[in-house]
Amino acid sequence: MPILLIHGPNLSQLGHRDPAVYGTATLAEVVDTVRAVLPDVADYDSEREGDLVQRLHAARTDGTTAVIVNPGALSHYSYALRDALEQLDVPKVEVHLSQVHARERFRHHSVVSAVCHVTITGAGLFGYRLAAEAAVHLLEDRSQAFQAVTPPD
Ligand code: DQA
| CATH number of the domain to which 39 belongs | 3.40.50.9100
pLDDT of residue 97: 98
Residue 149 lies in a domain: no
Radius of gyration of the chain (CA): 14
pLDDT of residue 75: 98
Residue 151 lies in a domain: no
pLDDT of residue 141: 83
pLDDT of residue 147: 58
Residue 58 lies in a domain: yes
Number of domains in the chain: 1
Q: Which atom of ligand 1 is nearest to the CA of 22?
A: 11
* Marked catalytic residue, from 96, 108, 109, 137: 96
Backbone angles phi, psi at 11, to 5 degrees: -75, -20
Q: DSSP states of 38-59 as a string?
A: -TT-EEEE-S-HHHHHHHHHHH
Domain that residue 96 falls in: 4-140
Q: Which atom of ligand 1 is nearest to the CA of 70?
A: 13
Residue 146 lies in a domain: no
Is there a catalytic annotation at residue 96?
yes
Residue 153 lies in a domain: no
Is there a catalytic annotation at residue 79?
no
Residue 14 lies in a domain: yes
Helices (H), 3-148: 19-22, 27-37, 49-59, 79-87, 126-140, 142-147
Residue 147 lies in a domain: no
| pLDDT tens, residue order, the chain (153 aa) | 599 999 999 999 999 999 999 999 999 999 999 999 999 999 999 999 999 999 999 999 999 999 999 999 999 999 999 999 999 999 999 999 999 999 999 999 999 999 999 999 999 999 999 999 999 999 998 766 555 566 556
Residue 92 lies in a domain: yes
pLDDT of residue 125: 98
